[in-house]
């Protein structure tokens, strides 16, 4: 059963398609869903997404004050969100796509692929219409409000901490004309006071549109690394963004903490991270590196294969690849198989629990090695033995693994849709977390778990699950 209170979905804010507001909330449409922000601090309350029944990329959102609901359109569907019940329901409509929504006191008007339609305040169905009242508040293609209507936005771009410019592409005054919401491409939303013209808030959260490949905790911050962007989330809930393209200026703190890592990511592709008391280890498509406290990057091994996981064992280093598990001691590298022979066919991720037990994602399941050298094998119920466990995380007695869901939801999918399988080693019980329980993504790149939350990285979305409540 889906319990939305256990999930928080942070979509990319790089592309904002629509903004609508009420006195207490702001609704922001991005491709992955509709973000509901609470006023006055504009914190993320929840994100309406595929787990709520929304199919396809979101195009528009529009608050309808005549009924107190919010219209949401995707590529070929229209929904309404009812704040009083916190539910999303799909509407039966005589059209497929909506290019504009016009809001009036009497109801809502829709410009669609099948013509103009009107939904009256108390009506259930859509009625074709040929006339439009003059006082409509438009969202979408008919929206005529432009950034240049507000001279205080000049020069109509936002400069971030790295001196990169982000053009203002969408503006929306709130209903009382006291605040202006300005969306900047690749940045987020700025909130301006319409009386003074000064900015009051910056709304930024979630990953960039490039896929997050690895999640790691460094310097008491959660780092989301991938593509040309590194994102850091600190303990106070602040999101910090660092583009890492050649020529970009890096801020001082970021340069000290992570600059060499992103340089390495650009040149060789970062595929594995291991942060522990001994320092930071990095796996790439071509080798293994260490980053010392002096911020110097040293290559430990040059390899002809991609490193998918790292683990220290004393003075040695275990690393996983699609060709198997290997042990490096000094300059010596030897194969390191498990008693079951599972790691011989490839290791796709490695994680370690607080008690020292290491878990290795393999084809058909997981094998573990305890701190005293004992091996165990775990096969999730109904698991396809030809599929890999591609991402792992461990916290307490629980092991989280990204596994293909059964059955595959689409015969046209290019790769199996992912689910999360949870093993509780305390009693060897299994739990599956998939779309029926609220998992809003079908592709999982990385997992990270602490003592309360499981973080899930997917293209253009990062998800946080309160597993201590979900798995009660």
High-pLDDT (> 90) share of the chain, %: 73
Q: DSSP string covering 158-218, please? A: EE-TTS-EEEEEEEEE-TTSSEEEEEETTTEEEEEETTT--EEEEE--S--SSPP-EEEEE
Q: Which of 257, 264, 161, 160 is nearest to 216 (CA)?
A: 257
Residue 245: CB atoms within 10 Å: 12
Collapsing DSSP to helix, strand or coil, 47 comes out as strand
| Residue 259 pLDDT | 60
Percentage of residues in the chain having pLDDT higher than 70: 92
CB atoms within 10 A of CB 278: 11
* Whole-prediction pTM: 0.92
The rounded mean pLDDT for the chain is 90
Checking DSSP bridges between strand 279-284 and strand 270-276, what pairing results, if any?
antiparallel
pLDDT reading at 240 higher than 60: yes
What domains does the chain contain, in order, with CATH numbers?
A: 1-143 (2.130.10.10), 145-204 (no CATH), 214-470 (2.130.10.10)
pLDDT at 163: 84
Sequence-distant (≥ 6) Cβ neighbours of residue 146 within 8 angstroms: 171
Q: What does the pLDDT look like over 11-65, one tens digit per residue? A: 999 999 999 999 999 999 999 999 999 999 999 999 999 999 999 999 999 999 9
- Alpha-carbon distance 331 to 316, whole Å? 10
**Tokens 């009051």 belong to which residue?**
200
Q: What is the pLDDT of residue 45?
A: 97
Backbone angles phi, psi at 433, to 5 degrees: -110, 110
Query: What band does 415 get if pLDDT is binned at 50, 70 and 90?
Result: very low
Name the band, by pLDDT with cuts 50, 70 and 90, for residue 429.
Answer: very high
């Amino acid at each position: 059963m889906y319990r939305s209170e256990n999930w928080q979905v942070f979509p990319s804010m790089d592309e904002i398609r629509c903004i609508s507001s009420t006195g207490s909330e702001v609704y922001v449409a991005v491709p992955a869903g509709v973000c509901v922000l609470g006023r006055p601090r504009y914190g993320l309350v929840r994100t309406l997404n595929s787990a709520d029944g929304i199919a396809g990329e979101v195009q528009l959102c529009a608050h309808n004050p005549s009924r107190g609901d919010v219209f949401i359109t995707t590529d070929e569907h229209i929904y309404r969100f009812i704040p009083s019940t916190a539910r999303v329901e799909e509407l039966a409509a005589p059209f497929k796509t909506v290019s504009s929504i016009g809001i009036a006191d009497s109801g809502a008007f829709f410009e669609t692929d099948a013509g103009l339609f009107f939904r009256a305040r108390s009506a259930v169905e859509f009625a074709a219409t040929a006339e439009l009242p003059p006082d409509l508040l438009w969202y979408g293609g008919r929206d005529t409000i432009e950034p240049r209507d507000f001279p205080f936005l000049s020069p109509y771009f936002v400069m971030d901490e790295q001196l990169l410019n982000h053009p203002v592409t969408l503006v929306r005054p709130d209903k009382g004309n006291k605040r202006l919401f300005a969306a900047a491409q690749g940045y987020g939303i700025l909130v301006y006071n319409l009386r003074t013209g000064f900015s009051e808030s910056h709304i930024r959260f979630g990953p960039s549109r490039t896929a997050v490949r690895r999640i790691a905790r460094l310097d008491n911050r959660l780092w989301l690394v991938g593509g040309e962007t590194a994102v850091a989330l600190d303990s106070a809930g602040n999101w910090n963004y660092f583009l890492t393209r050649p020529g970009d200026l890096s801020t001082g703190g970021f340069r000290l903490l992570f600059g060499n890592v992103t340089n390495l990511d650009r040149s060789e592709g970062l595929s594995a991270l291991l942060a522990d008391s001994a320092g930071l280890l990095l796996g790439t498509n071509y080798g293994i590196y260490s980053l010392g406290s002096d911020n110097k990057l040293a290559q430990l091994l040059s390899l002809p294969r991609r490193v998918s996981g790292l683990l220290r064992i004393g003075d040695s280093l275990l690393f996983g690849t699609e060709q198997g598990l290997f042990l490096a001691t000094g300059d010596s590298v030897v194969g390191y198989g498990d008693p079951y022979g599972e790691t011989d066919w490839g290791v796709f991720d490695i994680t370690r629990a607080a008690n020292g037990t290491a878990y290795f994602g393999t084809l058909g399941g997981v094998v573990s090695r305890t701190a005293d050298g004992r091996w165990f094998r775990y096969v999730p119920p109904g698991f396809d033995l030809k599929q890999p466990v591609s991402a792992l995380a461990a916290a307490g007695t629980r092991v989280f693994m990204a596994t293909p869901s059964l059955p595959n939801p689409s015969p046209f999918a290019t790769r199996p849709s992912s689910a999360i399988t949870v093993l509780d080693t305390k009693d060897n019980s299994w739990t599956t977390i998939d779309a029926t329980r609220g998992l809003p993504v079908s592709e999982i790149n990385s997992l990270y778990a602490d003592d309360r939350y499981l973080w899930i990285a997917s293209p253009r979305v990062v998800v946080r699950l309160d597993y201590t409540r979900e798995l009660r």
